[in-house]
Structure 1
């Protein structure tokens, strides 16, 4: 069974003993959005929203993406959190785009990661 962003966010939230309401408040997102993200496979999420969730969970967006799609870890000395460089680069570049463009590209990027993950299984 493959993991997805919602599964990874839910796992991290529960590990920190947070409710969906707690995460929603900490991230500035709605409880409905957090609930839908955790329970569905349709993961349309912008980089800004994922950044908000990552910050609320005391982690990074690339780390959530990496763990959700189980990309091979790189050597610890190559980057700080062992996330593949391409994920870090793409997430950093997405933050530099205008909001509407970043949201569109973020959703496409997540879709691409899901395709890569499913073709590797």
Structure 2
């Protein structure tokens, strides 16, 4: 019996930075305003608080690193009609 070894992976995790938060905030803001949604309406439809949407969008002006769960991003993306991966700044 021959033992097979999985090749090393080159897709190391990329640390989340304030720049990533800024770009995420810009994308959410642009998509929301393009669709004529208020922050309050987006938050309601996604099942989150208005404060969370404000925090995400505010990060486009600050050096804040957001700490969000992927399910949060995907619920917002769903309301905005895009794939969750489209919000990620990679």
Q: TM-score, normalised by structure 1?
A: 0.51
Please tell me whether the aligned partners of residues 20 and 35 of structure 1 are also in contact (alpha carbons under 8 angstroms). yes
Q: Quick one: which of 49, 52, 64 aligns to 1:30?
A: 49
* Higher Cα radius of gyration: 2
Report how many residues are paired.
66
Task: Select the structure that is richer in helix.
Answer: 1
Match of 2:69 in 1: 46
Q: TM-score, normalised by structure 2?
A: 0.67
Match of 1:117 in 2: none
Q: Structure 1 runs of 4+ off > 2 angstroms? A: none
Per-residue deviation, residues 28-47 of structure 1 (Å, max 9, x unmatched): 00000100111023221110
Q: What secondary structure, in the 3-state scheme, does the structure 1 residue paired with 2:87 have?
A: helix
Note the residue ranges of structure 2 that are not aligned, 5 or more in a row. 1-18
Relative contact order, CA 8 A, sep 6+: which one is greater?
A: 2
Q: Quick one: which of 64, 74, 77 aligns to 2:87?
A: 64
